[in-house]
Amino acid sequence: MDTLTQPKIIVTGGDGFLGTYVVKLLQDQGVRNVFVPRSKHYDLYELENVHRLFRDYPPDLVIHLASSCPLSQESNNHNDPYNQPDMCMCKNILAAAQQHTVPEVVTVLDYHSYPGWCDHPLSEDDLEDLSNWNAKDAGNLLGATYLKEVVEKNHTLGEKSNIITCITSEIYGPGDRFQVQSRRLLAAAIRIISDAKEQQDSEAIIPGHPDDEIDFLYITEAVDGIVAAIKSDVTSGIINLALGKTHRWRNVVEQVVAYLEYDGEMSWMETDRQPRQVAFNVSRAKDRTGFNPSIGVEVGLQETVQWFCTHRRFILENEADTMVQWQTSHHNQQITDAVFVK
């Protein structure tokens, strides 16, 4: 679409980490008709509730960001953090949007959704080739199962398709909840190391393999990419959003340790597997949307850790309350004091 000043937009998860930034950027760009549904009013795990949402507030665009972000205590699986309820929400959104003829739907997943058979750097072309899905095993990855369904819908509907799926690398930044069980690896590590320091533990156990090569994308640039995809002439398909540069996980964790001044030892949860690479081909996003991230991990990580240290007490006091959200200004990446709103 050429402009975002008139349409009615629903942002599910608009009060979460990613959603708060998305809503703020939309408002900064002049959007006024943004509706953020609350789970207590619209439980998106039930299809009828999604239908009711679209009847109550007929949207021109749905940006689906809602998720149960923390990993379940039972699985503790950072390799596939998407759980069945999250994928149920995604499928409900697509099904209801098709029935209500919603002009455009944007969903956001992360790199865990890529099946293991995709080559590196990860390319959207591999996912959009249905012969790959038919010939290769996607395993039990729920995110990949959802992606296959999206690809099939895009192939079936052709030019009438209205589904854009943004796949991000590892997102991080100020404003996260920094939960130990978070699907966001860096946020979890910052919290774990900070807790180990506060509790004077001699060892901190870090999720992931120390030799993983991961692309880290700063939150404001992820949001810029999502909104750029919406404003572009892209009407369907998959778009990678990433910095385009990988960092060894061990080195990133060591930098967190240095910023937090923790003097204990590091141990790793997943050294029993081979290290993996999470590298992205981002040429499609750059060519079609003008996406051009520039905030490196060194700068972004320092701002993130500083923000966490400033607000650690509030994070701990309110982490059990899912209705607490940060209201903060992020203009030009200038982080200001946050205020809790319940």
d(CA 58, CA 35): 10
Token readout for 153 is: 């819908």
d(CA 169, CA 219): 11
Q: How do the residues of the chain divide into helix, strand and coil, expressed in percent and rounded to 5?
A: 40, 20, 40
Strand partners, 341: 325
DSSP state of 279: -
Token readout for 203 is: 């060892």
From the list 296, 181, 187, 192, the residue with the least C-alpha distance to 245 is 296
Indicate the residue type of 169. S
Tell me the pTM: 0.86
CATH code at 9-341:
3.40.50.720
Q: Is there a cis peptide before residue 121, judged by omega within 30 degrees of 0?
A: yes
d(CA 174, CA 172): 7
One digit per residue, pLDDT tens: the chain, 342 residues? 444 447 899 999 999 999 999 999 999 998 989 999 998 999 999 999 999 999 999 999 999 998 765 443 334 444 444 456 778 888 899 999 999 999 999 999 999 888 888 888 999 999 999 888 888 776 656 667 788 888 888 777 766 668 899 999 999 999 999 999 888 999 999 999 999 999 999 999 999 999 999 999 999 999 999 999 999 988 788 999 999 999 999 999 999 999 999 999 999 999 999 999 999 999 999 999 999 999 999 999 999 999 999 999 999 988 765 444 443 333 333 322 222 222
